[in-house]
Amino acid sequence: MKYYLFIIFIILLGISGCQRTTTSLIQLDDLQPLPMPTPVTSPPLRVSVASVISAQGTVQSYQPLLDYLSARLGREVTLIQRRTYTETNELIGRNEVDVAFVCTSAYIDGRDRYGMSLLVAPQVNGETTYHSLLIVPTDSPARSMADLRGKVFAFTDPTSFSGRVYPTALVQELGDSPESFFQDTFFTYSHDAAIEAVANGLADGAAVDSLVFHFALSRHPELREQVKVIHTSPPFGIPPVVVGPGVRPQLRAELQNILLGMADDPSPLAQTALESLGIDRFVMIDDAAYASARLLRSQVGPVSP
């Protein structure tokens, strides 16, 4: 009997303990919403344009292309400019820019020293070549480089193929060097500035990129009355578009596809960009296209200090 009384006592004690348990009420109105995740944004695409034309001219010509790339990529595109070709190459080498529009000689140097690689090349009038043009004032009696001995000559950039390497080769063919052949030389650091130097009588001659020269004439027809071409080089591989060694393969492929498809994109933004640059389209190009320029550059050697 005592055993049953003990069991009943334990049961009653458990029931009483359950009855003392309190229930916590949660007020739904007091709940705070979970914070929204911070959207992940891509860093700006950094683009550099070698100083083939002046800084102002670069912005005017390339801004429509930058706007197009920004729209297609869905990210900001930043233009980074430097005064010389070498400085642009160094940006590539330090992975401070992703894409660059460089000159032929700068590509040759940048491929070997900074690991840049070809992305695409512009096609102009169905060609992926260009020329170095020797220009003088329209009233100049000069008919060749030999006639510019003892004159003032404007080079564009120490690294420029059409603006420094090729005219130096012409002087070397005459058995001389620019330092002793010309009375004086100076660098303009852009091709449009070299054209202006000749047009304004600051230089007796200059060698410039044929693409820039003809584009300048189309925008400023009055130049036809101020400068003339007295020598045209053989064709050389056109200044290309390159990427740096730090660019991810996925981004490289995306950029390549966008640029290659621009000519077939009917949107006004795409067509305006191509017209602003004065080109037909972007196409693939191989390093072999720069073999003749590479050979001449090795023969001419670096600029004298």
Domains of the chain: 45-128+238-290 (3.40.190.10), 129-236 (3.40.190.10)
Given pLDDT bands bounded at 50, 70 and 90, which one contains residue 46?
A: very high
Q: Are 239 and 85 in contact (CB under 8 A)?
A: no
pLDDT at 10: 47
Residue 294 identity (one-letter amino acid): R
Of 93 and 1, the structure prediction assigns the larger pLDDT to: 93
Please tell me the distance from the alpha carbon of residue 299 to that of residue 169, in angstroms, as a whole number. Answer: 8
Mean pLDDT is lowest, of 44-58, 79-93, 107-121, 185-199, for: 44-58
Percent of the chain clearing pLDDT 70 (strictly above):
83
Q: Is the pLDDT of residue 292 over 70?
A: yes
Q: Which two tokens stand for residue 247?
A: 């660019």
Q: From CA 53, how far away is CA 51, in angstroms rounded?
A: 5
Stated pTM of the model: 0.82
Arithmetic mean of pLDDT, 169-196:
96
Picking from 1-15, 135-149, 246-260, which range would have the lowest pLDDT averaged per residue?
A: 1-15
Rounded (10°) angle between helices 166-173 and 291-300: 60
pLDDT at residue 50 in the model = 82
Q: What is residue 60's predicted lDDT score, i.e. its pLDDT?
A: 78
Give the whole-angstrom CA distance, residue 190 versus residue 50. Answer: 9
Average predicted confidence (pLDDT) for the chain? 87
Query: Which stretch of 31-40, 59-68, 130-139, 262-271 has the lowest confidence by average pLDDT?
Result: 31-40
Model pLDDT, residue 31? 52
Taking only the tens place, the pLDDT of each residue in 208-252 is: 999 999 988 988 999 999 999 999 999 999 999 999 999 999 999
Burial class of 214 by CB neighbour count within 10 A (0 to 12, 13 to 18, 19+): middle
Strand order of the sheet with strand 281-283? 77-80, 45-49, 99-101, 241-243, 117-123, 281-283
* pLDDT higher than threshold 80 for residue 25: no
149 - beta bridge partners?
none
pLDDT for 54 equals: 54
- Look at 26-35, 57-66, 108-117, 156-165 and tell me which has the smallest mean pLDDT: 26-35
